[in-house]
Amino acid sequence: MILPTAWATASGLALTSAFAPLDWWWAAPVGVAGLGIIARGRTWGRSAWLGFVVGLAFFAPLLHFTVPAMGNALGWVALTITEAAYLALLGAAWSWVSRLGPLDDGRGEGSGSGWRGAAARVTALAVLWAAVEELRSSWPWGGFPFGRLAFAMADSPLLPLASIGGVTGLGLLVALIGALLAEAARALRHGPGLGALTALIAAGAAAVAPLAIPMPSRAESGTLRLAAVQGSVADARDSYDRALEVTGKHADETTRLAGEIGPGAVDAVVWPENAADLDPRDHYASARRIDQAARAIGAPILVGAVKYEDDARYNDLLLWSPITGAGPYYRKHRPVPFAEYVPLRSWIRRVTTQVDRIGVDMLPGTGPTTLAVPSASQGRDVALAVGICFEVAYDDLLRDGVRRGGEAIIIPTNNANFIGTSETGQQIAQGRVQAVVHGRAVLQVSTTGITAVISPRGTIEQELPGNEQSSLVADLPLRTTLTIADRLGYWPARLTLIAGALLAITGMVSAGRRRWAVRAPRGGSRQRRRASGSAPSSGRSTTTRRKRT
């Protein structure tokens, strides 16, 4: 198992290199192919181990950004092992499924040999990968979608498919290309031939075919001029301990921008998540700083603030008017488990007291997934779909906002704890993919970066330098047409999960039957030996008795 384990490690490293900071998108299908090759045809236990190794090599580098955020490696190790366990499940499932009659080319002509068997193997591996990815991105506690194959495709020719299949469909295509590469490698074991060539041509065609999909990006209902303010922080660990320091930095940059462009030059200003270190609804000093900035620029400010209520807290994006003050807000629907709240707190505290670092749990919001911004240039309120920080990875949440009238998407985020890590690059790639999924412009605003304007085609139009106090002004195209992905809604994800579950269960049952079939003849032969052995014994005793008489 030494060589297969080494290959599994290489496959995991290929997968992680598809994401920031390397962004080698083409390495993702190579990693899928690696797992498909090494886990196929082995016992389920060995395949599960190899899948687990792939997961460790994949997620350990990918999620290392959690170490500086938490100040220790405990969360990183736990999260890496948890995510790797899903790929162990994938390895076991592929071991079972690859031995099914239509897929098993070891059974001769009429079973898994020929083009039908090849097509079945390619489809099965792709569906299993996409199903396991969907499972880990939704369960438990809302799942953890970092590392989804689709999020490595922001610079690839496959990206346009996201407007049809969403994150699930795009990831399925990446897995399909990887499965085709695995099939080509399988065919090459028997020497160069038509099978390997066909698989390689199919993989290449699948990689470039999405370029034919149109990605409309023109404004359909006008434009919205927004300013994005990146206030930066002096020290990620201490700035929020000094009252109004973060708020003051964003207020100062807003005031500076107002002096540059003049009051009333923008429809609204967007501040990042947690830009108000003290909730202006409860602290007068914070409200006064924000109000001064709003009056200076002559426009409402969308302010990230945390609301404390009844031993709980909520992550809000608050609309602050220069005339009326605090107004409507969007409340984060999906707090991050073990970062913003602790599931099973009492049980986990028996293992580690690190849970006490999160003193007050953040609860999910239940309100609308949009926020209406008054636009002087449009003469109406413009609905914006909102996702705070981590929520950019959930296309279902953003889909709800778009289907409820969101004409553009805003992503306020606080990356102060991730300065210098790959998290910021991974997050902006997620925003680029989501722009295509929903056919909407995306404005991501961060405390420290990356702050960027993303077109509905997924391209970065403007970007601020990281960890600098700065701002930008952008005209976001407002769009109302729903993409096919948004019209399909949950169905691609649900069908993928169902298909993957059916495949895995069928493979597991078939494997169980084969084991019983192998054991049954052995049991029967033992019984026959017992039966045949008793008769001669009886005969011998009778003969003996006769001789004695």
| Residue corresponding to tokens 């404004």 | 219
Residues 6 or more apart in contact with residue 39 via CB below 8 angstroms: 47, 50, 51, 90, 91, 94, 95, 98
Q: In this predicted model, what pLDDT tens digit does every residue of 265-299 receive, in sequence order?
A: 999 999 999 999 999 999 999 999 999 999 999 99
Is 544's pLDDT higher than 50? no
Is 136's pLDDT higher than 60? yes
Q: What is the CA radius of gyration of the chain?
A: 29
Identify which of 146, 195, 150, 200 has the alpha carbon closest to the alpha carbon of residue 33: 200
For 276, list phi and psi in degrees, rounded to 5. Answer: -95, 105
Identify which of 291, 284, 278 has the alpha carbon closest to the alpha carbon of residue 251: 291
Backbone dihedral region for residue 344 (phi beyond 0: left; psi -120 to 50: alpha; all else: beta)? left
Identify which of 307, 234, 228 has the alpha carbon closest to the alpha carbon of residue 268: 228
C-alpha to C-alpha distance for 406 and 64, rounded to whole angstroms: 34
pTM (two decimals): 0.92
Is 548's pLDDT higher than 70? no
Residue type, 17: S
C-alpha to C-alpha distance for 528 and 517, rounded to whole angstroms: 17
Is 540's pLDDT higher than 60? no
Strand 223-230 relative to strand 268-270, pairing? parallel
To the nearest whole percent, how much of the chain has pLDDT over 90?
81
Q: Categorize the per-residue pLDDT at 545 as very low, low, confident or very high, splitting at 50, 70 and 90.
A: very low
Backbone dihedral region for residue 453 (phi beyond 0: left; psi -120 to 50: alpha; all else: beta)? beta
Instruction: Supply the DSSP symbol for 225.
Output: E
Please report the sign of the dihedral spanned by the C-alpha atoms of residue 132, residue 134, residue 135, residue 141: positive
User: What confidence score (pLDDT) does residue 524 get?
Assistant: 53
User: What confidence score (pLDDT) does residue 22 get?
Assistant: 98
Token pair belonging to 512: 């169980």
User: What integer is the mean pLDDT of 442-470?
Assistant: 97
Q: In this predicted model, what pLDDT tens digit does every residue of 319-352 receive, in sequence order?
A: 999 999 999 999 999 999 999 999 999 898 888 8
Count of C-beta atoms within a 10 Å radius of residue 203: 21
User: What integer is the mean pLDDT of 70-91?
Assistant: 95
For 401, list phi and psi in degrees, rounded to 5. Answer: -65, -40
User: 371-409: b or e for each residue (b if 16 or more CB lie within 10 Å)?
Assistant: bbbbbeebeeebbbbbbbbbbbbbbbbbbbbbbeebbbb
Identify which of 56, 38, 35 has the alpha carbon closest to the alpha carbon of residue 1: 38
